[in-house]
Amino acid sequence: MKRIVVLISGRGSNLRALVEARLPIEVAAVISNRPDAAGLAFAAGHGIATQVVDHKAFAGREAFDAALGDAIEAQRADLVVMAGFMRLLTPGFIRRFAGRMINIHPALLPAFTGLDTHRRALERGCRVHGCTVHYVTEGMDEGPIIAQASVPVLPDDDADTLAARVLAQEHQLYPAVLRAWSDGAFRLEGERVSWRDACTWPDAAHYPEY
């Protein structure tokens, strides 16, 4: 069975979605840079190993990333899954796990990289918004796209209501991508992701079964 390590910084709602999906994957450990991250308690309650690598305990980003990388490697993980991990990673760390680290971003990349994606989408008058699962590369939110899900932007939306609908899609998309990964349904080929059997991902909540 393939093994993943999940990185979190807060409540771990996407972690919860992954665990509750009962995927054919072993969550080897949940690691947080914050000792008060609520997702740690959830993981421990489900018998998953947890670890804190507190970024405040290190003199700089390189030292923190080295310790975090060592903690991940100790778990013999096949994939590093970022789920609300709110730290900028150094190029050296990203190269260390190149092709083995994915993230979920609350926007339809390449639009709206970075923070405050929902507010920015509203300010630009977007009619469609959503989320993206992508490989992590040195450019912020610029890695090859694995899959996306979209939601309509409603006339009375504010950033909070839009965020809630996008988050509901995240909770379906991320487990679906991990299930597909465990089945070998896609692979990274240079700067693009290739899906087996020309698989395509429709919008909204209609995801293929694996």
Q: Which residues are registered as beta bridge partners of 20?
A: none
- Look at residue 103 and give its three-state secondary structure: strand
CB-based contact 79:99 (threshold 8 Å)? no
For the chain, the C-alpha Rg in angstroms (whole number) is: 17
Count of Cβ atoms closer than 10 Å to residue 114 Cβ: 10
Close Cβ partners of 88 (under 8 Å, ≥ 6 residues apart): 61, 140
Report the distance separating Cα 176 and Cα 198, nearest Å: 17
**Residue tagged active-site, from 55, 105, 129, 171:** 105
Tokens 């909770």 found at: 171
Count of Cβ atoms closer than 10 Å to residue 52 Cβ: 16
CB-based contact 90:69 (threshold 8 Å)? no
Please confirm, yes or no, whether 171 is among the known catalytic residues: no
CB-based contact 10:28 (threshold 8 Å)? no
Catalytic residues, by residue number, are: 105
